[in-house]
Amino acid sequence: MLKLFLWLRYLRKRKIVFLSVAAVALSVALLIVVASLFTGFINVFEQSAVETVGDVVLAPPIKFGKYPLFIERLEQTSAVKAATATLSTQGLLYLGKGNVRMVSVWGIEPGRREEVTGFKRSLLKQKKSPDEPSFKVSGTPERIGGFVGVGVVAAPDEKTDEYDFDAVEGMVGQQVVLITSAVTEPGATEGTSKLSSLKKKVVPFLIADIVFTGAYYVDKTFIYLPIEEVQKTLYPNDAGQIADQIQIKLSPGIPADVAIAQIRGLWQGFVDEQLNGDPYLKRYTDIETAKQMQSQYVAELRKQMGVLLLIFGVVSFSVVVLIFCIFYMIVRLKQRDIAIIKSCGTASSSVALIFVGFGACVGIIGSAIGAVLGYAVTKNINTIEEWIRIIFGLKLWKSSVYMFSKIPSEVDWSSALPIILFAVAAAAIGALIPAIVAARTRPVEILRYE
């Protein structure tokens, strides 16, 4: 009770203590914002990979046939909810006068892709339609339709970093021309010197919809065409159905490693049974989760976050020094209080505890304020960034630099909690030496008449 009384009294009477509260709050808020932004970015990055390619990707080193049969088998297992095939290549896209872009072409099955990645929500025109996504362009059912990333057809505004969606939607129905290479004579997979023979192929198509995922690289690079059309273009001499990647959505609650083991077993059996046991396909096929595919870059981001937190953590060490100074001052000024308490029989350890506890109190209050401040800043980071742009004309966040159109604004409480605890501990440590000085006070010396 006495401790609580003294803590409240010191807090009320010694205004200088608020400086330490402010310093703790400032450091905690800064660290929470930095940790949340980094973690948010990593989460968005990983989530974006899942939304682009599904939970698990099966990527053989070469194209393979009979994929509908493999997908059928996959979907019969308990681990897989849905799967879809893709066939990819690169090409040049002629969009109109003087406008050529290099693009990555994905041959996809729009309906299945929707089941695996929720692709439809990225389509500007069709996202509100109850039907499954389609390449059909109204009025011209006989023409090939394709989806084009928003960044392929337009560039975000230099100042606001936002696309003019009305103008972009106006491009739906427009004809564009793709060039890519068709394999007219396939080469050997391994061991022989037979080379592939390629021929340039021009594919005109109509823009059926525009894709806006919010991930800059995906929006700027990818165009999507029906997988059958891409196959016809790339491998005109292959009669079967060909894919070069299978993207898979796992059933809820299935651990990734269990699912991967199941998928691998199924793949090996499929290759043995349907693809003549091709050892190349068996040995070199990668089966990974979307998150594992990004792991090297994510590890690098986590490392950078650690380094940045360490740097700010070291600078925040000043808070310990500040609390030491303030508490030392209080102890020196309150020697008589301490002597009276001790003369009433309070043990030295209890006196020390008053100041350590007071330090922890400062830490708790400062951390609480810092946490609220950090939360407010993180949650409103996009608004703050927008205001900085309006007032100073400085666009801090650009999707072309930081990959995504919005700054992640979720507070990472799992990082915030250790920061808060660390701040409370640091405040208590700062108060430790002054507490020892207080505990060593001799009432007989302080309370002498002279």
Partner 1 sequence: MYKIILAFRYLVKRRITYLAVLAVAICVFIVVVVMTVLTGLVIDFRQKNHSFVGDCVVGTESLVGFAYYEDFVKILEQSYFVEGISPVIKSFALVNPVGSERNVGVEIMGIDAVKHSKATGFGKTLYYRKDNVSKAFKPAYDPNLLGCVIGIDLVLERDAKSRYPYGSGPTDIPLAISCFPLNAKGALAKADAGLVKTQTFYYSDNSESGLARVDGSMVYLPFEQAQLLCGMAGPVKRVSAIHIKFKPNVRLEAGCEEVDSLWQSFKREKADEKQAYLLEKVTVQGWKDYRRAYIAAMEKEQTMMTAMFGLVGVTTVFIVFVVFYMIISHKSKDIGILKSIGVSNVNIIILFSGFAFLVGLLGSGVGLFAGWLFLLKINRIEDWLFERFGFQLWDRTIYAIGDIPNQVDAKVLAVIILSAIVACLVGALVPSRQAAKQKPIETLQVTQL
**Binding residues vs partner 1 (CB under 8 A):** 16, 19-20, 22-23, 26-27, 30, 34, 89-92, 94, 96-104, 177, 179-181, 183, 186-187, 195-196, 198-200, 202, 296-297, 299-300, 303, 307, 311-312, 314-319, 321-322, 324-326, 328-329, 332-333, 394, 396, 398, 400-401
Closest CA to 359 of 321, 408, 305: 321
Nearer to partner 1, 30 or 56 (CB): 30
Nearer to partner 1, 96 or 279 (CB): 96
Closest approach of partner 1 to the CB of residue 172, in Å: 22
Nearer to partner 1, 196 or 380 (CB): 196
DSSP assignment, residue 283? H
DSSP-derived 3-state class of residue 424: helix
Nearer to partner 1, 11 or 92 (CB): 92
Residues 6+ apart with CB under 8 A from 62: 189, 244, 280, 281
Beta-sheet pairing, 145-149 with 197-211: parallel
Nearer to partner 1, 26 or 275 (CB): 26
Closest approach of partner 1 to the CB of residue 397, in Å: 9
Nearer to partner 1, 7 or 328 (CB): 328
Closest approach of partner 1 to the CB of residue 314, in Å: 6
Give phi and psi for 410, each to the nearest 5: -95, 135
Give phi and psi for 226, each to the nearest 5: -60, 140
Contact 295, 309 (CB under 8 A): no
Angle (deg, nearest 10), helices 256-274 and 67-76: 140
Closest approach of partner 1 to the CB of residue 323, in Å: 9
Distance between CA atoms of 62 and 285, rounded to whole angstroms? 9
Closest approach of partner 1 to the CB of residue 290, in Å: 18
Beta strand ranges found along 130-232 (DSSP E): 145-149, 175-185, 197-211, 222-226
Closest approach of partner 1 to the CB of residue 50, in Å: 21
Closest approach of partner 1 to the CB of residue 281, in Å: 15
Nearer to partner 1, 118 or 204 (CB): 204
Closest approach of partner 1 to the CB of residue 178, in Å: 10
Distance between CA atoms of 88 and 164, rounded to whole angstroms? 29
Distance between CA atoms of 71 and 337, rounded to whole angstroms? 80
Contact 176, 93 (CB under 8 A): yes
Contact 441, 339 (CB under 8 A): yes
Closest approach of partner 1 to the CB of residue 165, in Å: 22
Closest approach of partner 1 to the CB of residue 247, in Å: 20
Residue type, 190: E
Nearer to partner 1, 126 or 180 (CB): 180
Half-sphere exposure in the Cβ direction for 115 (13 Å, CA): 16
Closest approach of partner 1 to the CB of residue 163, in Å: 17
DSSP-derived 3-state class of residue 376: helix
Nearer to partner 1, 124 or 372 (CB): 372
Nearer to partner 1, 104 or 274 (CB): 104
How many residues are present in the chain? 450
C-alpha distances (whole Å) from 141 to each of 43, 65, 131, 137, 145 are 40, 28, 17, 6, 9
Q: What is the DSSP string of 186-209?
A: ---SSSS-PPPEEEEEEEEEEEEE
Distance between CA atoms of 203 and 372, rounded to whole angstroms? 56
Nearer to partner 1, 54 or 151 (CB): 151
